[in-house]
Amino acid sequence: MTEKNTPQEYIARNKENFLAGWFEALRIPSVSALSEHKDDMRRMAEWLRNRLSSAGLAARLVPTGGNPLVVASSPEIPGRPTILVYGHYDVQPVDPLDQWKSEPFEPTIRGGNVFCRGADDDKGQSLAHLFAAESILAARGELPVCLKFVYEGEEEIGSMSLESYLQSEEGRATLAADAILVSDTDMAGPDTPAITNGLRGILGCEIKLTGPSHDLHSGLYGGSVLNPAVALCALLGKLIDRNGKIQVPGFYDDVVTLTEADREAFAMRPFDEKSAYAEIGLKQSFGEPQFTVLERRGARPTFDINGLTSGYQGEGGKTIIPSTASAKLTFRMVPNQNPAQLFENLRAYLAEQLWPGVEMTITGSQMSSGFLVPLDSPFIQAAARGIERVFGKAPLFIRDGGSIPVVSTLASALGADVILAGFGVEEDAIHSPNEHYALESFYRGIEASVAILEELGAMKYER
Amino acid sequence: MTEKNTPQEYIARNKENFLAGWFEALRIPSVSALSEHKDDMRRMAEWLRNRLSSAGLAARLVPTGGNPLVVASSPEIPGRPTILVYGHYDVQPVDPLDQWKSEPFEPTIRGGNVFCRGADDDKGQSLAHLFAAESILAARGELPVCLKFVYEGEEEIGSMSLESYLQSEEGRATLAADAILVSDTDMAGPDTPAITNGLRGILGCEIKLTGPSHDLHSGLYGGSVLNPAVALCALLGKLIDRNGKIQVPGFYDDVVTLTEADREAFAMRPFDEKSAYAEIGLKQSFGEPQFTVLERRGARPTFDINGLTSGYQGEGGKTIIPSTASAKLTFRMVPNQNPAQLFENLRAYLAEQLWPGVEMTITGSQMSSGFLVPLDSPFIQAAARGIERVFGKAPLFIRDGGSIPVVSTLASALGADVILAGFGVEEDAIHSPNEHYALESFYRGIEASVAILEELGAMKYER
């Protein structure tokens, strides 16, 4: 059935080969948040460079102040668009370790899924394009577009190095492209492909309250010293109300009202609320009652506490007034909100609400805007045709709640459209214990990438 | 000057000996809260038994479900009262370890103080009575009273074993006494001795909120799932207001109003608020504005968070909605408040305030009433005369903010008056890094114990 010497046939013959490559990449514990993994970051970058070179691309590492960038390109083809594939080779930390059913960095197949940190986010997803390029080059000897790659090793910690590379002329010239192809998002459902045309931005910060110079005996001092943990709860407990409304003044001022069309697009997505919540062990949703769950996730700003730390956390008790208390916070922002402005509003609000008796420091960590891609982009339309060829149905266009901060920067620095064609599903538990990615998603991703590249090569294109 | 063969002379000759004994005890890391120290608890109990035996008392270990009790007694002397010395051989955990200037379990002398976990609380304090008995028996061959000892190894974790020993007839018979002598409190100032006639009670509990079955990606789910850390802050942030008033309904119903005499007693204590706060790195106090700092500490109920735990606490960030969030809480209660009733009120209040979308579990840990000893007790008066002999001035009678829960139980189970004669000072940093105890306090404690026992032996006594 399959035509001889086609990329599709190459994929069919190389399933073991691709699986082995993916597993090699998964076994490298490239956790960017932990400095102990510094060497693993480099090993991972070198692995990608070598695989890109073997596929037939000109690949190299770009040294940075942090983890190296991996860049690669094929020869330019006149009359064809230049497509930049973006992916990230760093992964989230694995704790809580005791909740993993198998080793977090040993890919393990159970029920058609590969369990491993990074299985989906973003090794499983982003290798699709590398293996697609390998398949096309092996079968045809040339690519249908001018193809570039950039893999960064800091997506989970703020993309500092890629952001600063994009500040340089050299960086922008190296990565210059007409469209950016990214697989780091979810489909609308297990059999419902999607192109994500909107992402949320993010504002991350850490708050630390400092009280007495050392932990105090809560009997001797209790009632006469402001407990930093109490002050922290009082402060953060006021940031959001029980309807999910964030209390920082001006927080919603720039949020664009959802149109009827926007709301229809959300309503079209297959979503069984009851079973989706049962899947994560919950009986009910939370949040702004005037919006549906998918609207809250995709189009509304949010506030979350990612971590709380104070005092004695061991076995038993310890009757102290802790000296400090701290929290890691993230806000998700929707398109048109300005994270820098909101960080200032937040800082002012917290300073005003803070009870006297403790000192507060706030350190910003991540900051990026949300964005929306116009659906009439010819690159988006070509990618949609490619996806339809593989899945047998057209992708939905969806707005996703996640953030890929650097994608906003890439789009504006390169003046390129962004095609967010992801093959994961919500149940993949990315960032959580037992992250996994379906074998089917992995192979279908490679096939879809081939089809997308072919459609992009066939489009009417004028620079 | 010193009379030959007096206990005082024995003390003067045995300073090195007592110091060495104290250091031996301090080097045993008897942390009751951590099960890894189980063997150290037993070693510490055996050390005490051996030292009591060497002093000439009949000493033995009483096995319990937890750490052994050490009990000892001298022969009964007709016409003299029976005095029970209570002390505890367990100590608090040492974290945060990085804030210690010397090893926490290696006693180190700096500036006239011995730095070590347990230096004051309660090894340094409670050994005073053991060494006093040793001195009197060495010098005189007999004690002025019938003297009993009980050392427990669970004071810092709730005194479960001693509490249950006191439920038994055997326990009550073994410990039967007319008065209980305890050194586990502070003086009113470095040169102002005190007898504590009131202690606060305590109610300790741990609250855990459970949301989703695993940590979720805060981008994919944010805005649609109640974040347990957010719910915890909202819940605990409402437990107390910025004036230090606890919001649990009925919390103050049974609190006895301070009389003018009570307030005068507090006002008499030497206390320089500004320097006391500067000492702990603070510019201002916190709490109920209608009460002085010492009143807030000694006679008002309080709420403290001793520890907060949720989500990611490592380096960098992690964009999750944590699956759980928990807090360790303690309330201090004043005499007449009923901790069991208040625990029920607390549980009901929290259940009512909790936002829907997370499950709450509350586990009670410690529970004891506060108490007040009548100042006209002849035992208290005799102890005051003994202290005056050594310090050259009469002790103040003070109400302390701490809790020694088991002391309430001992007093009521044995029908005995409690003499809380402590030789520590507030600056000793008990329960904190760099706990210390002055060499002078250590030796003066032994001398004062001798004098107290002599005065108790000389008092007009009828059983």
pLDDT tens for each residue of A288-334: 999 999 999 989 999 999 999 999 998 888 889 999 999 999 999 99
- Rg (C-alpha) for chain A, rounded Å, is 23
Measured over the CA atoms of residue A247, residue A250, residue A254 and residue A258, the dihedral's sign is positive
DSSP class per residue in A241-282:
-TTS-B-STTTTTTPPPPPHHHHHHHHHS---HHHHHHHTT-
Distance from CA of B306 to the nearest CA of A (A): 5
Chain A to chain B Cβ contacts (< 8 Å): 357
Kindly list the residues from chain A whose CB atom is less than 8 angstroms away from the CB atom of residue B308. Answer: 229, 232-233, 308-311, 313, 325
Kindly list the residues from chain A whose CB atom is less than 8 angstroms away from the CB atom of residue B303. Answer: 230
Q: Averaged over B418-443, what is the pLDDT? A: 95
Record: contact B317-A306, CB cut-off 8 A:
yes
A286: in domain: no
Q: Averaged over A260-269, what is the pLDDT? A: 88
Please tell me whether residues A159 and A236 are part of one structural domain.
Answer: no
Range in B43-47, B171-175, B415-419, B457-461 with the lowest mean pLDDT: B457-461
B280: in domain: no
At B420, the amino acid letter reads L
Q: To the nearest whole percent, how much of chain B has pLDDT over 90?
A: 80
Q: Choose from A328, A366, A368, A426 for mutation: most chain B CBs within 10 A.
A: A328
pLDDT computed for residue B1 by the predictor: 43
Record: contact A315-B214, CB cut-off 8 A:
no
Distance from CA of A172 to the nearest CA of B (A): 28
B260: in domain: no
Please tell me whether residues A148 and A222 are part of one structural domain.
Answer: no
Please tell me whether residues A325 and A394 are part of one structural domain.
Answer: no
Q: Averaged over B275-297, what is the pLDDT? A: 95
B225 in reach of chain A (CB within 8 A): yes
Nearest-by-CA chain A residue for B324: A307
pLDDT tens for each residue of B186-219: 998 888 999 998 888 899 999 999 999 999 989 8
**The pair of three-digit structure tokens given for residue A361, joined into one six-digit string:** 């420091």
A176 contacts A83 by C-beta, under 8 angstroms: no
Q: Which of B326, B366, B364, B358 is nearest to B344 (CA)?
A: B364
Record: contact B218-A316, CB cut-off 8 A:
no
A221 in reach of chain B (CB within 8 A): yes
Distance from CA of A243 to the nearest CA of B (A): 9
pLDDT computed for residue B89 by the predictor: 98
How many C-beta atoms surround the C-beta of residue A153 within 10 A? Answer: 28
Number of structural domains chain A divides into: 2
Distance from CA of A221 to the nearest CA of B (A): 6
Domain end marker among B326, B350, B368:
B368
Please tell me whether residues B187 and B247 are part of one structural domain.
Answer: no
CB-based contacts of A360, cutoff 8 Å, min separation 6: A207, A208, A209, A210, A350, A351, A354
Please tell me whether residues B214 and B235 are part of one structural domain.
Answer: yes
pLDDT tens for each residue of B62-107: 999 999 999 999 988 888 999 999 999 999 999 889 999 999 999 9
Per-residue pLDDT band for B463 (boundaries 50, 70, 90) equals: low
pLDDT computed for residue B76 by the predictor: 81
Please tell me whether residues A39 and A169 are part of one structural domain.
Answer: yes
A274: in domain: no
pLDDT computed for residue A4 by the predictor: 62
Record: contact B233-A233, CB cut-off 8 A:
yes
Distance from CA of B422 to the nearest CA of A (A): 13
Range in A172-186, A265-279, B232-246, B286-300 with the lowest mean pLDDT: A265-279
A76: in domain: yes
B384 in reach of chain A (CB within 8 A): no
A302-311, strands of its sheet edge to edge? A359-368, A201-210, A324-333, A302-311, B302-311, B324-333, B201-210, B359-368
B39 contacts B33 by C-beta, under 8 angstroms: no
The SS3 call for residue B381 is: helix
User: Which 3-state string (H, E, C) describes B57-85?
Assistant: CEEEEECCCCCCEEEEECCCCCCCCEEEE
A315 in reach of chain B (CB within 8 A): yes
Record: contact B314-A34, CB cut-off 8 A:
yes
Q: To the nearest whole percent, how much of chain A has pLDDT over 90?
A: 80
Domain end marker among A345, A368, A391:
A368
B266: in domain: no
Per-residue pLDDT band for B4 (boundaries 50, 70, 90) equals: low
pLDDT computed for residue A373 by the predictor: 81
Please tell me whether residues B215 and B351 are part of one structural domain.
Answer: yes
B23 in reach of chain A (CB within 8 A): no
pLDDT tens for each residue of B252-262: 999 988 989 88
CA dist B239 and B245 (Å) reads 8
Per-residue pLDDT band for B426 (boundaries 50, 70, 90) equals: confident
At A378, the amino acid letter reads P
Q: Averaged over A170-196, what is the pLDDT? A: 94
Residue with more model confidence, A159 or A146 = A146
Q: Which long-range contacts (CB under 8 A, 24 or more apart) does A343-347 make?
A: A343/A203, A343/A205, A343/A367, A345/A248, A345/A249, A345/A250, A345/A251, A346/A203, A346/A205, A346/A248
**CATH number assigned to the domain comprising residue B348:** 3.30.70.360
pLDDT computed for residue A247 by the predictor: 97
Distance from CA of B347 to the nearest CA of A (A): 18
Please tell me whether residues B382 and B324 are part of one structural domain.
Answer: no
pLDDT tens for each residue of A370-398: 888 878 889 999 999 999 999 999 999 88
Please tell me whether residues B80 and B93 are part of one structural domain.
Answer: yes
pLDDT computed for residue A463 by the predictor: 62
Show the CA angle centred on residue B183, arms to residues B178 and B189, nearest 5°: 130
Tell me the whole-structure pTM to 2 decimals.
Answer: 0.77
Please tell me whether residues B245 and B352 are part of one structural domain.
Answer: yes
Q: Which of B395, B160, B424, B415 is nearest to B269 (CA)?
A: B395
pLDDT computed for residue A72 by the predictor: 98
Residues 112-131 of B with CB under 8 A from A: none
Residue B282 phi/psi, 5-degree rounding, is -120, 150
B426 in reach of chain A (CB within 8 A): yes
A423: in domain: yes
Measured between alpha carbons, how far is residue B203 from residues A125, A424, B206 in Å? 52, 49, 10
**CATH number assigned to the domain comprising residue A430:** 3.40.630.10
Report the residue from A156, A223, A432 with minimal CB separation from B215. Answer: A432
B275 in reach of chain A (CB within 8 A): no
Q: Which of A449, A425, A421 is nearest to A435 (CA)?
A: A425
pLDDT tops 50 at residue A1? no
Q: What mean pLDDT, rounded, does chain A reach?
A: 94
B244 in reach of chain A (CB within 8 A): yes
Nearest-by-CA chain B residue for A32: B316
pLDDT tens for each residue of B28-58: 999 999 999 999 999 999 999 999 999 999 9
CA dist B316 and A157 (Å) reads 7
pLDDT tens for each residue of B295-344: 999 899 999 999 999 999 988 888 899 999 999 999 999 988 999 999 99
Domain that holds residue B156: 7-199+371-458
Q: Choose from A297, A352, A431 for mutation: most chain B CBs within 10 A.
A: A431
Domain end marker among B327, B346, B368:
B368
B88 in reach of chain A (CB within 8 A): no
CA dist B209 and B353 (Å) reads 13
pLDDT tops 90 at residue A207? yes
pLDDT computed for residue A316 by the predictor: 81
Measured over the CA atoms of residue B168, residue B169, residue B171 and residue B175, the dihedral's sign is positive
The SS3 call for residue B160 is: helix
**The pair of three-digit structure tokens given for residue A350, joined into one six-digit string:** 């917290």
**The pair of three-digit structure tokens given for residue A10, joined into one six-digit string:** 């190459």
A233 in reach of chain B (CB within 8 A): yes
Please tell me whether residues A180 and A78 are part of one structural domain.
Answer: yes
Please tell me whether residues B173 and B207 are part of one structural domain.
Answer: no
Q: Averaged over B123-131, what is the pLDDT? A: 98
Measured between alpha carbons, how far is residue A59 from residues A51, A74, A238, B91, B436 in Å? 9, 9, 51, 61, 63
CA dist A254 and A380 (Å) reads 27
pLDDT tens for each residue of A405-419: 788 889 889 999 999
pLDDT tops 70 at residue A2? no
B14: in domain: yes
